[in-house]
Amino acid sequence: MKMNSTRNMRANRLAPPASLLVLVVSAILVASPRTNAPEVSRHHQVISKLLDEFPYRLGSWVGVDVVLPSAATAILRPNGYVNRRYSQIGKSNDVVLGIIHCEDIRDMDGHYPPRCYPAAGWSQTGEDDIALRIEDSQATMKLYRFQRATQMGLVESKSVVSVFVAPDVGILTSMDSLKKIGDTSLNTSALGVAQIQLVFADELPTGIIQDQANDIFSEFPENTIANFMINPLRIVYPKEATLN
């Protein structure tokens, strides 16, 4: 009995260090995810180059750079972006195309039309799904409507087409879906995410927005969206994280 008691005492003395070792190892695993893996870094470099070289001419549309507010860049810390007003040659049509890529999904939090437009004084007046073609595939995106009163007492309107594109998952239309992926692990969050917005300076009919958006998307460089969907670590997301 005395021998067993001695063994138990030794085991109890060893238990705290063993538990501490587990905690230390766990902390190392959490603090050192594969966020700096060479595959991820190369992938982000490819995306950055793709956006740097994004064409100013998209078929009959010609683009001019629009300054991205410094507050937005401070929050988003973009890996690369396009923020450009495209005007259609021979017509009065114009649209602001925004493509932004963040290296970490969590940095995109807040850059979402139902949040950022009301924060800038706009009131949301509508939200609908809109079917568009992009890279030979049909995709459902979100169409948001906003209004605000000008200093002259007039009503100003905007129509915003918005969508997220994440590795493996593809097209996402809601921030909740994106956050599910980002919350899966630091590894999945560090794969990054792209957001595409088309901003029309009026409350145009949905049919006209579809025609103009499809025309612009049809002129995107080949595999632009496919590159946003590449998972360099080949992580498989849980099914519930892929739901819109």
The CB density around residue 153, as the number of other CB atoms within 10 Å, is 6
Residue listed under structure tokens 């470099």: 45
Q: What is the pLDDT along the chain (244 residues), one digit of tens a residue?
A: 444 444 444 434 334 333 323 322 222 233 334 456 788 889 899 999 999 999 999 999 999 999 988 877 888 889 999 999 999 999 999 999 999 999 988 888 778 899 889 988 999 999 999 999 988 788 999 999 999 998 888 899 999 999 999 888 888 888 888 888 777 766 678 888 999 999 999 889 999 999 999 999 999 999 999 999 988 877 444 443 343 4
| Cα 4 from chain centre | 60
| Cα 49 from chain centre | 17
Would you list the domain boundaries of the chain? 1-32, 35-242
Could you give the CA distance from residue 219 to residue 212 in angstroms, rounded to a whole number? 11
Could you give the CA distance from residue 195 to residue 81 in angstroms, rounded to a whole number? 9
* Cβ atoms 148, 117 nearer than 8 A: no
Residue listed under structure tokens 């239309």: 173
CA dihedral 184, 188, 190, 194 (to 10 degrees): -100
Q: How far apart are the first and last CA of the chain?
A: 63
Kind and range of the H or E element at 41?
Answer: helix 38-52
The CB density around residue 28, as the number of other CB atoms within 10 Å, is 9
pTM: 0.79
Nearest to 128 by CA among 145, 114, 104: 145
In terms of residues, how long is the chain?
244
pLDDT in tens, 133-192: 988 788 999 999 999 998 888 899 999 999 999 888 888 888 888 888 777 766 678 888
Residue listed under structure tokens 């979402």: 112
